[in-house]
Amino acid sequence: MDPAVFESVEAACRVLQRDPFGQEAIAIWQKAQADRTERIATQVAEAAPIVILEGTDGVGKTTLATNLQQSMEAVLVKTPPDELRHLRTYFDTADAELRRSYYLLGNYVCAAGLGRMEPVTPVIVDRFWPSSAAYALAFDLKSSTSDIPEVGRMPNDLVDLLPFGSRPIIFLVLDLPEEDRASRVRARSSITAEEVSLEQDAAVRKRLVNAYATLQLPQGQAMKFLDASGSPGEVLDRALTMVRRGVEAFRASPVPLSVNWHYTRQCNYKCQFCFHTAKTSYFLPQTKGGMEEAKRRLRRLRWAGMQKLNFSGGEPFLHQKELAELCRFCKQDLKLESVSIVSNGSKITEEWIHKNGEFVDILAISCDSFKEDTNIKIGRGGGNHIQQLELIRDWCAAADIKFKVNTVVNALNVQEDMGHMISRLNPVRWKVFQCLLLEGENAGEEALRNAKKLTVSSEEFSGFLDRHAEIKILVPEDNEKMKDSYLILDEYMRFLNCTGGAKKPTASLNDVPVISALRDAGFNSKMFHTRGGVYEWTRARVACQDGGADLEDLAGKPAPLRRMPRPDGAPKTLRPWKRVQVLTTAALVAAGLAVALANSRNSRTLAAR
């Protein structure tokens, strides 16, 4: 059997294509793929868990699946799913490669079905990819994940079908002493050849257990072993406890609510204080397969909780074709609440805005002075920056795009009064930054810029703010607020950790789960909210006051976004799927699951924190 069959659904289909029943299975998969939709919970409290049960035959998966279904008011699905189940008898007697390809394809059909389910409904899955891989390693390949890693790693195209990050996915492997497991299997009316081999061959059992323990799951997941001994009620209690812990861990994970993707370092300007300089010319969307790779990683960020994506650089409009496609993808396919762009404005055209404006919520233009000679000294343009700024403002108004202005306060503009021009431009926000030094970018021996001479003191920055205090849309950010309150993704799709005064990259999202990279990103969520990182950021403008201020900026009211921290003292509300339902005492007795009711209430209730 060729291990390559486990690399992708395409590889499995190549094997199945050789068989008439395999062709029927492929047609079922193609229909499931065409019918697939993405349903993503908008609030963490709405996201119910998916519990995947794994383990050898005879450990009690079916019993536990039924009890979890009743207790959690869940949907129960199995692999192979119903669409493919009529073909199972045929493939169980087929050769190993054909049989494993069938079971592998069943995982893809199941995953596509999970995407169609409402995220507020718990789902129990009786076996999934881990069983497909573990049984192939133990019985057919007679090897381990260390020897054949491609079999022990969930295929990327299968990972991309699952809602990791959008809702908790919990893998439970039921573990039972061999003597108990074998006696249960022998009591069955019919026993498969694999079940006989599992009882008689200790080496096979060892390979199977080791395979389950060493499989590589995506998105920071791990196989959790569940003691399946004791009564069904006791096993259910243990399972519910593990589900509750999985849900709590999901809620506690960091959330990339708003991400700034500096997707290129190339720029046609040479601003002296730039903190993201042109160290490389790498641009992922123009590499072979790079656009699709970028979309896959953005989809993962979306599932992990991203609601807003900001394209920055460098100058993002140096790649207008790719920028247009990515903006379209984010709004139409990912359905992000907000897509924004930060640009110097020099490459923006009315035609681009006319064609692609529907996919852009906010366009922010960097303008550090309303005196062209000052802009030239800074390195921003050649003398027509203000004229272009006003044109873009008009184009944004025509396209219903929120227009925003960003200004870096530095030694060359700290004494300037910009109030009149800002009022005239009437942006929805005027972000005012204090010139920031970052080692290796605009400071230090390896930097392409030296911005030290352009820095201003806290007192000077405060003076600039005082001069413009009457402008209600001004949003100030000093160095303390800026440093750790932005999630910055670089051109290699690595988060940049700025906590030490430099940009230390995490591992790339191409190589590690989003949650793993986030843990190393040094992101300060509290400071993100303190600086007003959440505001009304969609295209539909709210009523404005005093020159276009967003009402949510003025009121300090957070937008109703996913996984927002609950304010201290706020009431704890139950999840929309209420709680894991407590079985009545009568039902427990009837099912042979009698346990103490008080203990049941404690261990079987999952409520939103």
SS3 annotation, 487-503: EEECCCCEEEECCCCEC
490, 10, 459, 425: which is closest to 279 by C-alpha? 490
- Rounded to 5°, the CA angle 421-533-385 comes to 30
Average pLDDT over residues 6-14: 93
**Distance (Å, whole) CA 424 – CA 471:** 11
Amino acid, single-letter form, for residue 115: G
430, 408, 414, 559: which is closest to 482 by C-alpha? 408
Domain residue spans of the chain: 3-252, 258-555
pLDDT band at 438 (very low <50, low <70, confident <90, very high): low
Average pLDDT over residues 20-28: 97
pLDDT in tens, 369-411: 999 999 999 988 888 899 999 999 999 999 999 999 999 999 9
Q: What was the pLDDT predicted at 367?
A: 95
Q: Check residues 66 and 560 and name the one with the higher pLDDT.
A: 66
| CATH for the stretch 258-555 | 3.20.20.70
Give the sheet arrangement for strand 169-175, strand by strand. 75-78, 123-126, 50-54, 169-175, 224-227
Q: What was the pLDDT predicted at 564?
A: 31
pLDDT band at 565 (very low <50, low <70, confident <90, very high): very low
- Spatial neighbors of 83 by CB under 8 A, at least 6 apart, are 28, 32, 109
Q: Within 10 A of 337 (CB to CB), how many other CB atoms are there?
A: 22
Helix, strand or coil, per DSSP, at residue 284: helix
pLDDT band at 149 (very low <50, low <70, confident <90, very high): confident
Q: Which contiguous run of DSSP H or E holds residue 603?
A: helix 597-603
Residue 191 has pLDDT above 50, yes or no: yes
Pick the range with the lowest mean pLDDT from 57-66, 127-136, 518-527.
Answer: 518-527
Average pLDDT over residues 272-300: 85
Q: Check residues 208 and 556 and name the one with the higher pLDDT.
A: 208
Half-sphere exposure of 43 (CA within 13 A, CB side): 14
Strand partners of residue 169: 50
Residue 557 has pLDDT above 70, yes or no: no
Q: What percentage of residues in the chain have a pLDDT greater than 90?
A: 49
**Distance (Å, whole) CA 422 – CA 367:** 10
Q: The tokens of 201 are what? A: 């061959």
Q: Check residues 382 and 461 and name the one with the higher pLDDT.
A: 461
Pick the range with the lowest mean pLDDT from 123-127, 171-175, 187-191.
Answer: 187-191
Q: What was the pLDDT predicted at 510?
A: 82
- The alpha carbons of the chain give a radius of gyration, in whole angstroms, of 28
**Sign of the C-alpha dihedral, residues 124, 126, 132, 138?**
positive
**Distance (Å, whole) CA 44 – CA 566:** 11
pLDDT band at 273 (very low <50, low <70, confident <90, very high): confident
Report the catalytic residues: 267, 271, 274
pTM metric for this prediction: 0.69
Helix, strand or coil, per DSSP, at residue 422: helix
Q: What was the pLDDT predicted at 540?
A: 62
Q: What was the pLDDT predicted at 413?
A: 94
Average pLDDT over residues 200-208: 85
Helix runs in 86-190, H state only:
88-92, 96-116, 129-135, 156-159, 178-186
- Domain 3-252 fold: Rossmann fold (3.40.50)
Residue 555 has pLDDT above 50, yes or no: no
pLDDT band at 551 (very low <50, low <70, confident <90, very high): very low
Contact, 583 vs 593, CB < 8 A?
yes
**Distance (Å, whole) CA 423 – CA 100:** 67
Contact, 122 vs 48, CB < 8 A?
yes
Q: The tokens of 154 are what? A: 């969930």
3-state helix, strand, coil in the chain (%, to 5): 45, 15, 45
Pick the range with the lowest mean pLDDT from 10-14, 242-246, 263-267, 495-499.
Answer: 495-499
pLDDT in tens, 85-143: 999 999 999 999 999 999 999 999 999 999 888 888 999 999 999 999 999 998 888 88
Peptide bond preceding 547 in cis form (omega within 30 of 0): no
Contact, 160 vs 299, CB < 8 A?
yes
Contact, 268 vs 346, CB < 8 A?
yes
Contact, 308 vs 336, CB < 8 A?
yes
Average pLDDT over residues 164-181: 88
Q: Check residues 70 and 562 and name the one with the higher pLDDT.
A: 70
**Distance (Å, whole) CA 517 – CA 422:** 38
Residue 211 has pLDDT above 60, yes or no: yes
Give the sheet arrangement for strand 362-366, strand by strand. 474-477, 429-434, 402-409, 362-366, 338-343, 308-312, 258-262, 487-489, 494-497, 504-508
Q: Which contiguous run of DSSP H or E holds residue 303?
A: helix 290-303
Residue 456 has pLDDT above 70, yes or no: yes
Contact, 364 vs 402, CB < 8 A?
no
pLDDT band at 40 (very low <50, low <70, confident <90, very high): low
Amino acid, single-letter form, for residue 92: D
Q: What was the pLDDT predicted at 605?
A: 26
Q: What was the pLDDT predicted at 535?
A: 62
Average pLDDT over residues 329-337: 93
Q: What was the pLDDT predicted at 44?
A: 54
Helix runs in 129-277, H state only:
129-135, 156-159, 178-186, 193-200, 202-214, 232-252
**Distance (Å, whole) CA 351 – CA 349:** 5
Q: What was the pLDDT predicted at 608?
A: 23
pLDDT in tens, 474-522: 998 876 665 566 788 999 999 988 776 666 888 898 877 787 788 787 7
Alpha carbon distances (Å) from 584 to 355, 434, 577, 580: 60, 62, 18, 12
Q: What was the pLDDT predicted at 596?
A: 34
**Distance (Å, whole) CA 216 – CA 473:** 49
Q: The tokens of 326 are what? A: 């990515």
Pairing state of beta strands 169-175 and 50-54?
A: parallel
**Distance (Å, whole) CA 417 – CA 421:** 9
Q: What was the pLDDT predicted at 280?
A: 76
Pick the range with the lowest mean pLDDT from 204-208, 215-219, 355-359, 496-500.
Answer: 496-500
**Distance (Å, whole) CA 603 – CA 594:** 14
Q: The tokens of 442 are what? A: 């605009």
Helix, strand or coil, per DSSP, at residue 144: coil
Contact, 91 vs 283, CB < 8 A?
no
What's the chain's length in residues?
609
Average pLDDT over residues 42-48: 66
The average confidence (pLDDT) of the chain is 81
pLDDT band at 592 (very low <50, low <70, confident <90, very high): very low
Residue 185 has pLDDT above 70, yes or no: yes
Pick the range with the lowest mean pLDDT from 119-123, 181-185, 362-366, 410-414.
Answer: 181-185
